[in-house]
Structure 1
Amino acid sequence: MNQSKLYISPSVVIESMRDNGYKNTAYATAELIDNSIQAGATCVRLACFEKYKTRGKQIEQIAIIDDGKGMPSDVLHLALEFGGSKHREDEKGMGKFGMGLPNSSVSQCRLTEVWSWTNPEEILYTFLDIDKIKNKELESIPVPIKKDLPEHIKQAFNGEIPNSGTVILWSRLDRLNWKTSKSIKLHTESLIGRIYRRQLSAESECNKNKNPLRIVFQCYEYNDLTQSYLEINSESFRSNDPLYLYADTTLPTLPDPVSKVSPFAVKDIREFQIEYEEGKFSTVTIRTSALKPEVNIALRGTTDANIGQTIWGKHMRKNIGLSVIRADRELDLIANYHIADNNYLDRWIGAEIEFEPVLDQFFGVTNNKQGANKIKYIPLDTLAAEIIDVEGKTKAELEAEYLNYLEEEAPRDAKITAINSTIKQMIDDAYKSIENLGYKGFKSTEQDEPENSVIKTDLTNIQATIAERHRAEEFEVDGDESDPDVEGIKEHLMNEGMPEEEVEKTIQEIITNNLKVKFEYRDGLDDFFDIASFQGFTLIRINTEHSFYSKFMQNTNDDERNLLNLCLAAWGRMEKEVPPNIMKECRNTRRRWSNMLEEYLGETVE
C-alpha cells in the first residue's frame, strides 16, 4: 500500500529557510510588530532579557508582547506554519503574505515559543524548534495546549495581563546582529520609529480618532541572588519622520521661535490610479516636502558653520532617500533613488510613495516586506536608446517616444515607468524650490559668502558614503557612529607630502559633504589601490601609474568609473569588518592581487 509523503522534508530545508533576507534583527522584529498592529494592539513591547556571561552581559531571550485580540487555537496552530497565516485573507493588512512570524523568527533564533489568548483564563501555547525539526523529532507545528505565561513575561506586563494578547519569545539566539540590549536599542529606535512613524505620531491621519500606538523597549537583567529578572530600562519609541511633517518626532527640539512646528511643509502631491484586477482600482500617492523658510532662518541663527553640521542636519542626513510606504508602514528608505547635486540639498527635502497591499505584485514587494523591486529610477533616454534610433533626437523626444512604445507594447511597464519618472521630477522640483529660497549648500545667500565656500565633491564619494552608512546600520564596527577624525586625516595627508593648501581643501570637501568615503587619484603608490581608515572615515587612493588604470580605467566613461570605484569601496568596507586576526591577511591579499593584476595585463596586445 502506497503511503503519502511530504513534498519537502522539514528536517532537510529548515536551515536553508533561515537565510531569508532580513537585513538585521530590527527588521525581523518589525515583522512581529506588524502582526500585533494588525491584531489591533494599542501597546507593543519589545523586551530583552539579559544575563551575565564570561564576556559580560548578553541577551538570552527577546520577546514581542502585545495586547491585541489574540488567537484561538486553530489560528495559533496556523500562525507558525510558513504561509499558513490568516492574514492572507486581509487585502489591506500589513501581514498578507503569511510568512512573517516563522520567517522572521527562524532568521534570528532556534526556538520560537508563542502564547496567545482571547481570554486570560485560557492561555494557549505552541512552538517551533529548529533543532527538533532537524533531528526529526518534530515534523509539524504542535497543536496548541493550555500553558501559563513564564513569570518573567508576566513581569513585562507590569502585573496586569490584558484580556487578550500574544507573546512571541525567541530563545537560543544564534543569529542576532547585536548581542546586548544597549546595542539592540541603539539600532532599532531610529528604524522602528521610522517604519511605524504614522502609528506612533499623534499628528498622523491614521490616529485622527484614536490614541497613537505605543511601542515600548524594555530591558531586564537577571539577578543571581533573587533568581529573577529585574527591569533596568523602559522607554517608548518615538516617531522618526523622513519627510519631517510631524513635530512630535526624534528630531531634537528646534530653536525658538520654531520649536513647536514641523520643520518641513508639503511641497507637492500627485496620484495615480492603478487597475489591479478588472474593474478594481487602487490609488498610488507620491509626496514631496521641503524645509520651511522660517526654520531655515532659525537654524542658520544657531551656527557660524553650515547647517548640515548641526544636530538637526546630522539627524536629517540619516533619513535621506525615497520612503516607500505600504499599508501605512514603511518598507524601505531608498537612499540612492535620485541624487541630483552632490548631496547639498538632499537632506532639506523629503520624498515618499504610498500604496496599498493589493499592488504588491505591481511594485514587486518582497515577501519579507523590506523593499519594492520595481521602484527604481532609470533615465528614460537610457532605456529608449536600447530600442529606438537615437540619432538626431532630443532627450525629451526620446522619452516621449519610449513611453508611447511602452503604452502599446507593455502598458503595465508604462505605468511603472511613468510613476518612477514622476517621482524623479517631483524631487527635482523640490530641489529647485530650495535653491530659489537660497538654501543651496546649507548657506544663506544673504551672507554674501564666496562661491567656493562650499566645495563640491565627486558623485561617487556621495554614493560610497551612503552605502557605508547603510552597511553600518547592519554590521557596525568601531568608528561608524563617529564624525571623521579631521586631525588624523590632516596629519596623514601632510606626512605624505600633500601641499598644505590642498590638504585644507580636501578637509573642507570632507566636512562640507559629510563624507565617510573619499576617492583620490595619485601616482607613487605600491599597489593598484590603497586604503587608509581613520575614525569614521575611509580614504581610497587609486594608483594612476598602475597598468589597470592606464590601460583601462582612464578610458572609461563616468558611469563605468563610478562602478569600479564602488567595487573598491566595498573591499574597503570588508577590510573594516573582518576580525582583527585576519585583517593583515586581507591587506596582504589586496597587495598580491594588485601585483598579479599587473602581471596578467602585461603589454597590451595589438
Structure 2
Amino acid sequence: MKQPLNTAAEHLASQREYVKKRHLEDQKAAAQIGGTAGLVDEKMLAQSMRSVRYADEAHAAGDIIDNAIEAGASQVHLAYRTEGAKITEIAFIDDAAGIDPTFLPHAVKWGGSSNEGKRNVFGRFGFGLPSASVNRGRKFSVYSRTETDESFSKVTVDLDNLAMKGEVVQLPKVGQADLPDWIADYINSGKVSGGVDVVRTVVIWSTLDRLAWANKQQSSGRFREQLGITYAGWLDVCKLYVDGESVEPVDVLFTTPGYRYYEIPGFPNAESHSPIRFTAKDSDGNEHTVTVRFSFLSAAAHDAVVHTGGKGKPPKVRQRIRKAYNGFFVTRNGRFIETAKPDILTWSVYARQVGVALDFPPELDELFGVTPDKQTIIFDERVERMLDAAGVIRAHRALVAQVDLQRKQGKAERDAAANDGEGTRASEATIAKAVEKEVKRTRKASKESQEEAQRNFDDTVKRLAKETGVDETEVAKAQERKHREKPYKVEFSTDAEDDPFYTPLMVGSQTVLRVNQAHAWYRELYSKLNEDQAELRSGLELMLWVLATNELDATGDQKIFYRAERRAWSRQLSTAFDLHPAVFNNAASREDVEEDDPAAWVEDEFADDDEFADDFESEDEAK
C-alpha cells in the first residue's frame, strides 16, 4: 500500500516556511529602486493559463485531488451545484491538512508551492491548483482551515475582476466565510464520513464556460471512469467520491484482483505476465527502479460484454478501455499521467489485446519529460534504448505476435465453417445472376484486377500448402474447383475501424466481398439485424456487391476513383453511424445533442468514451 510522504504537520510547516521566505523576499524587493515590470505580464499569464492542456474537467480535477492526497486526505468528494440539468459549480471537499491562512493567497498563484525544491508524491511546480481551476471556468474560490474549531478562511480568484496595482496583479485578500449552503447540505447529508468537523479544504469552480460535460449524469459517469483509472493504485489510501458515489479502481491491464472488470461472468480473465524491472539514473546520478507490467487478453477476454439491463447491445467494456489506452500506460508514483506510443513499436488493433503499464518515481521526471500539468510523457531515444535493453520491446512484440497468431487461427476456423457449412449465400447467387443478366455474359474483370487476382491466388496456394503440407499443385487444383463452384464469396474480417467498411478483391476466378466487422456500418447497422431479417441483410450485401464488382471491372483512373471514393464513403459513414445512436435515441437536433454532450460533433480518437461512461451510469441504474 502506498503512503503519503508528508504528514499533515510537515505539510503545514512547509507552507509556513514558504510564507516566511516570501515575506523576506518582498521586503528586499520593496527596498529596490526601479520599475515595477517583471519578466512576465502577470495578467496575461493568468488568462493564458486557461490553455494548459487538460483533455477535460476530469483530467483537470487531478491536480486538485493530487494536492489533497499529498496533504494526507483520507477522502475527497466531488459535488455539483446545478440549475435544472445544467452544472453551475463543481466543488472538491477533503479532510486533509488544510491550508494555513497566511499561505492561502500563495496557494492560488502560479508557482506558489510549499513543495519548492522538493520532489513530492505528485506535485512539484506549484501550477496545479490555479491552472486546473481556471481551465474550465473563469472563477474559483478556496475555503480552508487547519483545525476543527477554526472558522474557514477564503480567497477568490476571478479572471474578470483581478486586483491590480499598476501593472502588477495583486494576491487575493483573505477573509473569513461560512461554507456555501449547498456545500453544507452535501456534507450534512451523511455523504462525508465524519461530517463537517473533518472538512479542511473546499475548492469551488465557478463561471463554468468550458465544460466538456454540462449534464450532471454524464459528468458523474465520466469523472468516476477517469478517476478510477488515474488513481487506481491510490484508492486504498484515499477514497474518492463523485456526487456521493464511490469511485472504483480500474486497472487497464485487467490483472488486479478486485478491480473493476478484472472478472466478467462468462468470460475469461486477462493473463498477467511477469513484470520487467530496470534501473535508471536521475539528474544527480542516483539510481531508481522503473517497473513495466504486461497483460495478454485473448479474443474472448478482450471482447467480454457486461450485461447492464439497459437497452441495446451489452457493451464490450474491456475492448473500449483497451482502445482508449493502447500504448504504454504511464504512471508516476502510481498516478496515471499519459498513454505514450513510442515509434519503436507499432500500435495496431491487435496491440490492444496486449496491456503494458510503466511506473516510475518522481525523481525520474526529467528522464520521462513530465510537464508541469502532469499530462505529458516524452519517450525520447534514451528511454527507448533503455526499454529495448531491458527486454520490454521484445516482450511486447512477442505478445502482439501471439495475438496475431490466435486471430489468424480464429479466422481460418470461421472461413472453414463458412465454406463447408453455410453453402452459397443469397447475395452471392444473386450478384452472379444480376451480372450475367445485365451484360448477357459472364463479367470480365479488368486487366489490373485479373493480375491482382492471380497474385492473390498464388499467395493463398503457398500459404495453404505450407499450413497443410500438401503439394502446391494439388492445393491449386482444389482451390480452382472451389472457385468454380462458388465464384462469389462474402467474407467477414476484423480490420481497423478506420479501414473501409467493405473491400472488393479477386482470388483467382473467385470474387470476394470482404466486410469489415470493426467499422461502424457493420456495428451499428448490419450486425443489429435479427435472424428473421435475413432478406434485408442479404439486400445490404447485394448493394455492396454491385459497388464491388464495378470497382473490380474498372480500369485506370476510374479504378483509382472508385477506391478513393470507397475510403471517403467509409470515413463519412463511420462518423455518421457513431453519431446516429445518440441522435436517434436522445435528441432530434444537433443542438439537443450538443447540450447533452458538446463533444459529440467533434471527431476524436476516443469516440467511444461516451459509451464507456454510459456503462458506469447504466450499471449503477441497474443496481
TM-score (structure 2 length as normaliser):
0.60
The answer for the alignment partner of 1:129 in structure 2 is 158
- The correspondence for 2:233, drawn from 198, 210, 221, is 198
Q: Is 2:457 aligned against 1:457?
A: no
**After superposition, where does 1:39-118 map in structure 2 within 5 Å?**
39-52=71-84, 57-118=85-146
Q: Give distance in 2, aligned partners of 1:453 and 1:445.
A: 12
Q: Distance in 2 between matches of 1:326 and 1:423?
A: 18
Q: Bigger CA drift: 445-454 or 19-28?
A: 445-454
Distance 1:178 1:429 in 2: 40
Question: 1:150 — aligned with what?
Answer: 180
> Who is 2:358 aligned against?
353
Partner residue of 1:371 out of 364, 376, 382: 376
Query: C-alpha distance in 1, partners of 2:368/2:259?
Result: 29
Note the C-alpha offset of 1:130.
0.6
Instruction: Give the equivalent residue in structure 1 for 2:545.
Output: 499
1:90-114 CA-to-partner distances (Å, cap 9, x unmatched) read: 4142011211001111111111100
1:358-507 → structure 2 map (5 Å cutoff):
358-374=363-379, 413-419=381-387, 422-434=391-403, 438=406, 455=493, 457=495, 461=499, 483-486=523-526, 498-499=544-545
Counterpart in the other structure of 1:515: none
Q: Choose from 319, 331, 351 the match for 1:325.
A: 331
- Alignment CA distance shift 1:336-1:238 (3 Å): farther
Alpha carbons 1:70, 1:166 under 8 Å: kept: yes
Instruction: Identify unmatched segments of 5+ residues in structure 1.
Output: 201-210, 219-233, 376-412, 463-478, 504-519, 539-572, 579-606
1:501-543 CA distance string (max 9 Å, x none) = 959xxxxxxxxxxxxxxxx9643989995634432179xxxxx
Q: Deviations over 1:306-342 (max 9, x none)?
A: x998555455444433200101101012468777585
In the other structure, the counterpart of 1:169 is 204
TM-score norm. by structure 1 comes to: 0.61
Structure 1 stretch displaced more, 59-68 or 242-251: 242-251
Residue 218 of structure 2 corresponds to 183
Change (3 A) 1:237 1:575: closer
CA gap 1:353/1:454 in 2 versus in 1, 3 angstroms? farther
Give the aligned partner of residue 603 of structure 1: none
Distance of 2:296 and 2:318 partners within structure 1: 14
The match for 2:171 among 125, 141, 147 is: 141
- In structure 1, the residue matched to 2:576 is 534
1:523 corresponds to 2:529: no
Change in Cα spacing, 1:458 to 1:129, as seen in structure 2 (3 Å) is closer
Whole-angstrom CA distance in 2 between matches of 1:277 and 1:447: 56
Aligned 8 A contact 2:283 2:366 in 1: no
Distance 1:487 1:266 in 2: 32
Write out per-residue CA displacement over residues 332-357 of structure 1, whole angstroms, 9 at most, x where no aligned residue. 124687775852x4343210111111
The secondary structure found in structure 2 opposite 1:86 is coil
| Number of matched pairs | 434
1: CA distance between counterparts of 2:566 and 2:413? 45
Task: Answer whether contact 1:45 1:66 (CA < 8 A) is retained.
Answer: yes
Matched, 1:577 2:609: no
Which residue is 2:41 aligned to?
A: 9
Q: What CA distance in whole angstroms lies between the structure 2 residues aligned with 1:296 and 1:444?
A: 20
Deviations 1:365-390 (A, max 9, x none): 11111121226xxxxxxxxxxxxxxx
Q: Deviations over 1:459-489 (max 9, x none)?
A: 9639xxxxxxxxxxxxxxxx99x95333799
**Correspondence for 2:248:** 238
Instruction: State the Cα RMSD in Å.
Output: 4.5
- Code of the aligned partner of 2:101: S
Q: 1:424-481: CA deviations, max 9, x gaps?
A: 3221122245567x4667779799757997625369639xxxxxxxxxxxxxxxx99x
Larger radius of gyration: 2
Distance 1:70 1:34 in 2: 14
Given that residues 127 and 141 in structure 1 are in contact (C-alpha distance below 8 angstroms), is that contact kept between their aligned partners in structure 2?
Answer: no
User: Which structure has the higher relative contact order (CA within 8 Å, separation 6+)?
Assistant: 2
Pairwise CA distance, 1:117: 1.4
Q: 1:59 to 1:135 in 2, by over 3 A?
A: farther
252, 261, 282: which one pairs with 1:251?
261
Query: Using the alignment, how far apart are the partners of 1:314 and 1:269 within structure 2?
Result: 24
Contact 1:267 1:287 in 2 (8 A): yes
Q: Is the 8 A contact 2:256 2:262 kept in 1?
A: no
Q: Which range is displaced more, 266-275 or 358-367?
A: 266-275
The amino acid of 1:360's aligned partner reads D
Q: What amino acid sits opposite 1:32 in the alignment?
A: I
Residue type at the aligned position of 1:28:
A
Seen in structure 2, the aligned counterparts of structure 1 residues 493 and 420 have a Cα distance that, compared at 3 Å, is: farther
Once the 2 structures are TM-superposed, how far is the Cα of residue 18 of structure 1 from its aligned partner? Answer: 1.2
CA spacing shift, 1:114–1:576, aligned 2, 3 Å: closer
Matches of 2:147 and 2:284, distance apart in 1: 42
Distance in 2 (alpha carbons) for counterparts of 1:368 and 1:281: 25
Alpha-carbon spacing, 1:319–1:151, altered in 2? closer, same or farther (3 Å): same
CA contact (8 A) 1:194 1:241 kept: yes
C-alpha distance in 1, partners of 2:542/2:164?
A: 60
- C-alpha deviations, 1:70-124, integer Å up to 9, x for none? 1212332321110111134441420112110011111111111001111122222
8 Å Cα contact 2:163/2:172 also seen in 1: no
Query: What are the Cα deviations for residues 148-182 of structure 1, in whole angstroms up to 9, with x where unaligned?
Result: 22222122223611445211001111121221212
Q: 1:27–1:442: structure 2 CA closer, same or farther, 3 Å change rule? A: farther
Q: Is the 8 A contact 1:85 1:98 kept in 2?
A: yes
- Are residues 363 and 340 of structure 1, via their aligned partners in 2, closer, same or farther at CA, if it must alter by over 3 Å? closer
**Aligned residue runs from structure 1 range 217-232, under 5 A:** 217-218=242-243
- Counterpart-to-counterpart distance in 1, 2:379 and 2:543: 48
Question: Does residue 266 of the first structure (1) align with residue 272 of the second (2)?
Answer: yes
Q: 2: distance between equivalents of 1:279 and 1:252?
A: 39
Contiguous gaps of at least 5 residues in structure 2: 1-32, 190-194, 308-312, 420-489, 501-518, 530-535, 550-558, 581-597, 604-623
Counterpart secondary structure, 1:182: helix
- CA separation in 2, counterparts of 1:158 and 1:425? 55
Per-residue displacement from partner, 1:381-437 (whole Å, max 9, x unpaired)? xxxxxxxxxxxxxxxxxxxxxxxxxxxxxxxx545433267443221122245567x
Distance 2:416 2:197 in 1: 62
Partner of 1:590: none
In structure 2, the CA distance between the partners of 1:251 and 1:364, relative to structure 1 (3 Å rule), is same
